[in-house]
């Protein structure tokens, strides 16, 4: 016997302390549900990460739901309402627990919708896949990307993909993510010559040398955005130099910075432009780059319209189509998906102590997912 109510499924998932990358039984639990429904389950575990690829139905078109069971650490348990973030706490309409928003709530909602839909629809009318990982909150090197690589090797493609990330900002259903910005991080070391601060003529101060270049980079307008994306942003995150004393000119300066960039650019463009500015200022430097995500934008076509219609019918609001926020596993799944959206619960308490959703939002998300399945496969 399996749970069918989204609240019951969510309670089971919350009880499993799946701090990244430990699946803590969550993937096994989901696998049992899919097996009970007659689905085919493939495990693509990698390192300490559990990855599930499940297929139900034999229809021609494929819709995938992608999600992650891993959560961030819970912090001080004493600050949680029930002193136990891994037990679902119900207070009126509120549901509190680590992962209720990001993103066990969406997984519970989709599983409940899936059970209802498959119980009432012939298997030859649909093909539904689940892609579940326990490595999204961590480095994401052993998670969804491993499933995508398998799909690519085998020539398998998704017509539609829904990621259950928490996308709503003020009320449930107000936002659908149709893309994400790229992320490029740099670590710059500017070299000088250490010496006594009273004799600057015998030294090279890397702080003084670096500041004009850093100022130019921080004030540069990289672009003005486009129809779907805001302008590219460069932000400095750390700047370190000196020995902790006031009488020594340091020998080097190290700074970390990050680009969140749109589809106007690629990583190579930004790297070239940055290093051109550094060289213009005649810096003695070294730099390392980490490109963790390219920007993507889905086709604003059938799936987007179906999701909008489902939200309008269930929630009586028209969602905005946005591309803001951090990175997600959409950066991997877009390579095997014709159309991809992210649609989930409110994101306002994600990663916080007392992470909270509501029974009404969870119920509505379940109804929206069910309506999407019906529209895609039943017309």
Write out the DSSP string of 142-161. Answer: SSHHHHHHHHHHTT--EEEE
Residues 197 and 315 in one domain: no
Residues 289 and 299 in one domain: no
Strands 179-180 and 296-297, by their bridges, are: antiparallel
Query: Does residue 28 lie within any of the structural domains?
Result: yes
Average pLDDT, integer, range 287-311: 95
Residues 268 and 211 in one domain: yes
The residue that leads in pLDDT, 90 or 301, is: 90
The 10s digit of each residue's pLDDT in 104-154 is 999 999 999 999 999 999 999 999 999 999 999 999 999 999 999 999 999
Mean pLDDT (the chain, rounded): 97
pLDDT of residue 283: 98
Average pLDDT, integer, range 194-198: 98
Domain with residue 335: its CATH number is: 3.40.630.10
Query: Does residue 353 lie within any of the structural domains?
Result: yes
Q: Using 50, 70 and 90 to split pLDDT, how confident is the model at 63?
A: very high
Residues 189 and 176 in one domain: no
pLDDT of residue 300: 79
Q: Which of 241, 258, 293 is the last residue of a domain?
A: 293
pLDDT of residue 343: 99
Domain with residue 213: its CATH number is: 3.30.70.360
pLDDT of residue 88: 98
In the 8-state DSSP scheme, what is residue 20?
T
Residues 155 and 221 in one domain: no
Residues 155 and 80 in one domain: yes
Q: How many domains does the chain have?
A: 2
Contacts of 205 (CB under 8 A, 6+ apart): 192, 249, 250
Contacts of 153 (CB under 8 A, 6+ apart): none
Q: Please, are residues 85 and 98 in contact by the beta-carbon 8 Å criterion?
A: yes
Residue 243 has pLDDT above 90, yes or no: yes
Residue 379 has pLDDT above 90, yes or no: no
pLDDT of residue 3: 87
Q: Is 136 a catalytic residue?
A: yes
Question: What angle (nearest 5°) sits at the alpha carbon of residue 116, between those of residues 112 and 117?
Answer: 115
Query: Does residue 234 lie within any of the structural domains?
Result: yes
Q: Which of 276, 293, 310 is the last residue of a domain?
A: 293
Query: Does residue 1 lie within any of the structural domains?
Result: no
Residue 1 has pLDDT above 80, yes or no: no
Residue 2 has pLDDT above 90, yes or no: no
Q: Which of 259, 293, 327 is the last residue of a domain?
A: 293
Given 31, 136, 137, 329, the catalytic residue: 136
Strands 127-133 and 51-56, by their bridges, are: antiparallel
Query: Does residue 41 lie within any of the structural domains?
Result: yes
pLDDT of residue 91: 93
Q: Please, are residues 135 and 49 in contact by the beta-carbon 8 Å criterion?
A: yes
Given 70, 135, 165, 367, the catalytic residue: 70
Q: Using 50, 70 and 90 to split pLDDT, how confident is the model at 365?
A: very high
Instruction: Give the chain's length.
Output: 379
Residues 234 and 356 in one domain: no
Residues 271 and 315 in one domain: no
Residue 23 has pLDDT above 90, yes or no: yes
Location of structure tokens 């028209």: 318
Determine the structural domain holding residue 66 and report its residue range. Answer: 6-180+295-378
Residues 152 and 268 in one domain: no
Query: Does residue 288 lie within any of the structural domains?
Result: yes
Residues 202 and 176 in one domain: no
Average pLDDT, integer, range 195-218: 98
Residues 21 and 152 in one domain: yes
Residues 286 and 344 in one domain: no
Query: Does residue 199 lie within any of the structural domains?
Result: yes
């Amino acid at each position: 016997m399996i749970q069918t109510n989204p609240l019951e499924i969510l309670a089971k998932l919350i009880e499993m302390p799946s701090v990244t990358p430990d699946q803590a039984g969550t993937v096994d639990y989901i696998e049992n549900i899919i097996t009970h429904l007659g689905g085919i389950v493939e495990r693509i575990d990698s390192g300490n990460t559990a990855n599930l690829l499940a297929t139900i139905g034999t229809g021609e078109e494929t819709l995938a739901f992608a999600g992650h069971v891993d959560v961030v650490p819970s912090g001080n348990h004493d600050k949680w309402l029930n002193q136990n973030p891994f037990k679902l706490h119900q207070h009126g309409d509120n549901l509190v627990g680590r992962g209720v928003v990001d993103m066990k709530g969406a997984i519970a909602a989709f599983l409940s919708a899936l059970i209802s839909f498959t119980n009432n629809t012939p298997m030859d009318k649909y093909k539904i896949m689940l892609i579940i990982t326990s490595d999204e909150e961590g480095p994401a090197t052993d998670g969804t990307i491993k499933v995508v690589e398998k799909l690519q090797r085998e020539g398998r493609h998704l017509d539609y993909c829904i990621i259950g990330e928490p996308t709503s900002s003020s009320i449930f259903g107000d936002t659908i993510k149709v893309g994400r910005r790229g992320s490029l991080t740099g670590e710059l070391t500017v070299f000088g010559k250490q010496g006594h601060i009273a004799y600057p003529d015998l030294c090279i101060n890397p702080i003084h040398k670096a500041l004009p270049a850093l100022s130019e980079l921080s004030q540069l307008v990289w672009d003005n955005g486009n129809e779907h994306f805001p302008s590219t942003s460069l932000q400095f995150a750390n700047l370190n130099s000196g020995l902790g004393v006031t009488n020594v000119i340091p020998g080097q300066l190290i700074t970390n910075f990050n680009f969140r960039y749109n589809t106007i650019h690629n990583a190579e463009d930004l790297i070239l432009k940055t290093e051109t500015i550094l060289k213009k200022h005649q810096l003695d430097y070294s730099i390392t780059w980490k490109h963790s995500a390219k920007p993507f934008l889905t086709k604003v076509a059938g799936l987007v319209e179906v999701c909008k219609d489902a939200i309008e019918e269930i929630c009586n609001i028209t969602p905005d189509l946005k591309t803001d926020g951090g990175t997600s596993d959409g950066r991997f799944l877009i390579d095997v998906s014709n159309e991809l959206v992210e649609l989930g619960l409110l994101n306002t308490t994600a990663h916080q102590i007392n992470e909270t959703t509501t029974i009404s939002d969870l119920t509505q998300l379940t109804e929206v997912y069910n309506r999407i399945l019906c529209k895609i496969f039943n017309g």
